Structure 1
Amino acid sequence: MPITPVTLFCSIPPGLAREQISLQKKFVNSSQGPKISIVTVTYNAAPCVRETLESIIGQSYPNIEYIVIDGASNDGTQSIINGYHEHISHFRSEPDKGTYDAMNKAIDIATGAWVIFINAGDFFVHDQIVAQVFAHPIPDNYDFIYGDYIWKGDKYGMRIESRPLDKMWQRICFSHQSLFSRTSLMKAKHFDLRYKIVSDYNFYFSCYMEGSEFLHLDFPISVFRAGGLSDINFMERTRERWKVVTRYKKSLLVHLYYLWLILDHYKHRPLSAWRALRKQ
């Protein structure tokens, strides 16, 4: 059932509210929790960046490093960000090669134990969510911590639960806005800029296939703002993901699955499907 934004994004159930008060008391005036690097990447995001900034700045967890990387915006985004300069640990505005290049720049700067990307337009579900995630020590064997997310449309939103990780060969099983990664691992690998659309998928899928451990938390962490993907982006995204998966899984099932995705997408345009497959 759809839930209105007011109910979904502003209210905390009484039981959770009591838990959050306890968490806030635990961490107030203390830096005992690990340092968390929160990254926001922006480009011409003046209409939505303020909500993101305030969501992160308003977190009750005290040990946060906030990094903002802007791609030389010219629509007033920089001016809005500068209004929050006292809350931002690192701010850089310069041309880049796209979102993943900007995210790599942030990784190089980050000094926290964990890093999460909350890009312009997205935000945390409430102001104590980071404290909730790190209320207890995270075992050393985990490289990633992830939860569910809220998909936010123009009028309504809904909780999207994470998919089982063994389905990651089909598509990403979580939203990177709800994923904390070990900073040391990200510094060692970075996002591969050869992938224009699925570089994040490439990173997380390769880590999963190479044995990284993922800790799932059964609650939403972030709110992801809905946005449309063009027909061209669908095809490029599917082709890139297909290439990523077949580096590790070369089974007939994988090829049939991605072939079916393309044919189903273009089922009323067979000539377009044929052209798309020729490029694969």
Structure 2
Amino acid sequence: MSGPLPRLSIVTVVRNDAAGLERTRRSLTEQTVAFEWIVVDGASTDGTRERVLALFALEQARGVSEPDGGIYDAMNKGLRLARGDYVLFLNAGDHLAGPAALAQASAAIAAAGSPDIVFFASRMAFGRRTILRPVKRPTYLRHGQPALHQATFVRRTRHLAHPFTPAYRICGDYDALARMASAGARMVSVPEVIGVNAFEPGAMSNNKLRLIREAAAIQRRVLALSWWTIGWSAARRALHSAVFKLLTAAAPGKRTLR
């Protein structure tokens, strides 16, 4: 039986990406349900800060504009500022799959009995080419994230107990999910498409070697997987990263990364 619809908090981290922030803003203004928007700007110097402050002045968003220790430090700031039942991280340049995305996500969360983590499907945009990224079962967490962060809703109180670890540069979200799962978080996967992630040249996640090293450390320390399983996951991840690199090679534009 469905419970009450959850309150949603959308957290957007940005630094020197006014155009990306505007794409995200437009996507959010189209939504048909109420939500709160938290924007965390990392002391941008290209005019983005002024746009963020304007959003605050118009009460379209809450948040801060100040130096930070990297993307996961900024995401932790947004998490602490959020007030909703569930948090979705939709960073500058990311956008939702359509005007009904948050309404569909909210209804699906309630229908599932309000679990701690809800994974949804998403679309991956490689320049002009878009590929469906089906959601994986929660057990896929042994190998990687069942869904992209643009399509993962996490109960705020659960996430606050397991914040991001700034020591990771790429896999901080995977680490947080793994720690929540190890602590007994209830997870559900839903096939609906919710978010869209633009993969672009120079993206931090394209740093294949660091990605593999960080993921392997999490699998060993947090999930206590065997070295055989970790090796198999690393081989799969290397293959996926190589494919993503080929697909993003011709993608136009480039966002500033931390």
Q: TM-score, normalised by structure 2?
A: 0.82
Give the equivalent residue in structure 2 for 1:146: 119
CA distance in 1, matches of 2:69, 2:26: 27
Give the equivalent residue in structure 2 for 1:108: 80
CA distance in 1, matches of 2:204, 2:180: 28
CA deviations 1:154-197 (Å, max 9, x no partner) are 11212110223323222222101101110001111211112221
Greater gyration radius: 1
Equivalent residue letter for 1:175: L
Deviation at 1:138, TM superposition (A): 4.8
Residue 251 of structure 1: which of 213, 223, 226 is its match?
Answer: 226
Equivalent residue letter for 2:5: G
Tell me if 1:239 matches 2:210: no
Percent identity, please.
26
CA distance in 1, matches of 2:219, 2:26: 37
Tell me if 1:120 matches 2:105: no
- Cα contact 1:66–1:87 (8 A) shared by 2: no
Point out the more displaced range, 255-264 or 204-213. 255-264
CA distance in 1, matches of 2:101, 2:129: 21
CA deviations 1:32-67 (Å, max 9, x no partner) are 7332111100001123210101111321102x1110
CA distance in 2, matches of 1:73, 1:231: 22
Give the equivalent residue in structure 1 for 2:161: 188
Q: Given the superposition, is the C-alpha separation of residues 126 and 87 from structure 1 closer, same or farther in structure 2, using an over 3 Å criterion?
A: farther
Alignment of 1:77-116 (within 5 A): 77-85=48-56, 86-116=58-88
Residue 46 of structure 1: which of 18, 24, 30 is its match?
Answer: 18
SS class of match (1:217): strand
Alignment of 1:1-280 (within 5 A): 33-62=5-34, 64-85=35-56, 86-135=58-107, 137-138=110-111, 142-228=115-201, 229=203, 233-247=207-221, 248-257=223-232, 260=235
Q: TM-score, normalised by structure 1?
A: 0.76
- Cα contact 1:57–1:87 (8 A) shared by 2: no
CA distance in 2, matches of 1:181, 1:218: 16
SS class of match (2:44): coil
Equivalent residue letter for 2:42: G
Q: Given the superposition, is the C-alpha separation of residues 155 and 170 from structure 1 closer, same or farther in structure 2, using an over 3 Å criterion?
A: same
Deviation at 1:74, TM superposition (A): 0.7
Deviation at 1:139, TM superposition (A): 5.1
SS class of match (1:240): helix
SS class of match (1:47): helix
What is the aligned-residue RMSD (CA, Å)? 2.5
CA distance in 2, matches of 1:102, 1:57: 23
Q: Given the superposition, is the C-alpha separation of residues 124 and 258 from structure 1 closer, same or farther in structure 2, using an over 3 Å criterion?
A: closer
- Cα contact 2:13–2:75 (8 A) shared by 1: yes
CA distance in 2, matches of 1:47, 1:141: 34
Q: Given the superposition, is the C-alpha separation of residues 91 and 210 from structure 1 closer, same or farther in structure 2, using an over 3 Å criterion?
A: closer
Q: Provide structure 2 residue ranges, at least 5 long, that are not aligned to the other structure.
A: 243-258
Deviation at 1:106, TM superposition (A): 0.8
CA distance in 2, matches of 1:127, 1:165: 26
